[in-house]
Structure 1
């Protein structure tokens, strides 16, 4: 890259590079040089935008956690429409698989990252916590509407469906939906009342 040439959206370019590296090689081999090499930019560019390597990884984790949170935020508004399982699956699968895999692996490898995410985005927003919270709120509302069995535990179900998502994402399967949808549907259909959705 010639000197003096502006690189648009360099932060997102670097974030995409770390994501590709973690998905392909795991988090153990991450370095500033590896990331800038993957991004096709000068090595020093990362440190021109971030205080240090840990600051860069924290910024990536915050950015992707925000995307996951935003994607799940609309789930409670779907209560009473469609089917319970389909609504939950849509929310679970709204984030690209590579993002889920990279963020999950990175958080597992660097346990202090969730604290840094919470410091920026607030409590219960690190990684898939936002999805779990949205699913709990959604299932609670469906229970109030009579579409989820009274004996069901919305919080426990939310934890279970997010657990399915994380387990499948960490496996690196190329078709996330093909494994997540049947498992989540089987889990939720067992406690869904079958009441017709609202018109």
Structure 2
């Protein structure tokens, strides 16, 4: 047990990770303060020592995972001109899968009260719902400059197709479904094959 006044290391991330596991196993209706703290192996009151209420906590969880995904996606444009394009894209897509953002977006829809907590982040740009699509587009434009994608290819539409395919697969199959990544790789391969310059 921690001494009085001494913070438990990484307690926020411990609670975030626990909430994510509960969300994926029980869905939005099973996401209660008690379920989260039980999953985290800590006292029920600990969550409320750090957050005003459950909605504030869940909004913070969403922002944390969105920030992680954005940081991962931001590295993608720097890979242009090196490696295999589909491998590069799949690395970025894995960031989206690992962040469980779609499940969290579904949570926000199931609990509209969370949205009011996210409004400030949306207004000041802290939360950027289009970050993934823009990162794909920036990467594909950079690949155009390297000559690995047709100069007249519509990279914005291609980026939207990649994000849409990833979200559709997550929505219909879940992040740990067998064959999910193989199906996404096949989709990315097909999309990229259509914009490669002819040998």
| TM-score bin (small chain) | 0.7 to 0.9
Aligned residue number for residue 71 of structure 1: 72
Q: In 1, distance between residues paired with 2:179 and 2:20? A: 18
Q: Secondary structure at the match of 1:93?
A: helix
Q: CA RMSD in A?
A: 2.5
Any runs of at least 4 consecutive aligned residues in structure 1 with deviations exceeding 4 A, and if so which?
1-6
**Unaligned runs of at least 5 residues, structure 1:** none
Aligned residue number for residue 55 of structure 2: 54
In structure 2, relative to structure 1, the CA distance for the partners of 1:101 and 1:133 (3 Å cut) is: same
Q: Which digits, 9 at most, give the CA deviation of each residue in 1:24-51, with x for residues without a partner?
A: 1111221111111111111111110011
Q: In 2, distance between residues paired with 1:41 and 1:78? A: 41
Shift of 1:75: 0.8
TM-score, normalising length: structure 2: 0.83
Q: In 2, distance between residues paired with 1:194 and 1:62? A: 42
In structure 2, relative to structure 1, the CA distance for the partners of 1:145 and 1:182 (3 Å cut) is: same
1:42-121 → structure 2 map (5 Å cutoff): 42-95=43-96, 97=98, 99-110=100-111, 112=115, 115-119=119-123, 121=125
Q: Which digits, 9 at most, give the CA deviation of each residue in 1:65-84, with x for residues without a partner?
A: 11000001111111111232
Aligned residue number for residue 168 of structure 1: 169
Aligned residue number for residue 187 of structure 2: 183
Q: In 1, distance between residues paired with 2:124 and 2:160? A: 23
Residues 13 and 39 of structure 1 are in contact (CA less than 8 Å); yes or no, is this contact kept in structure 2?
yes
Q: Secondary structure at the match of 1:94?
A: helix
Residues 86 and 185 of structure 1 are in contact (CA less than 8 Å); yes or no, is this contact kept in structure 2?
no
Q: In 2, distance between residues paired with 1:119 and 1:44? A: 31
Shift of 1:99: 2.9
Residues 65 and 99 of structure 2 are in contact (CA less than 8 Å); yes or no, is this contact kept in structure 1?
no
Q: Which has the higher contact order (CA 8 A, sep 6+)?
A: 1
Q: In 2, distance between residues paired with 1:15 and 1:26? A: 15
Shift of 1:96: 5.3
1:138-177 → structure 2 map (5 Å cutoff): 138-170=139-171, 171-172=173-174, 173-174=177-178, 176-177=180-181
* Count of residue pairs the alignment pairs up: 192
Larger helix fraction of residues: 2
TM-score, normalising length: structure 1: 0.83
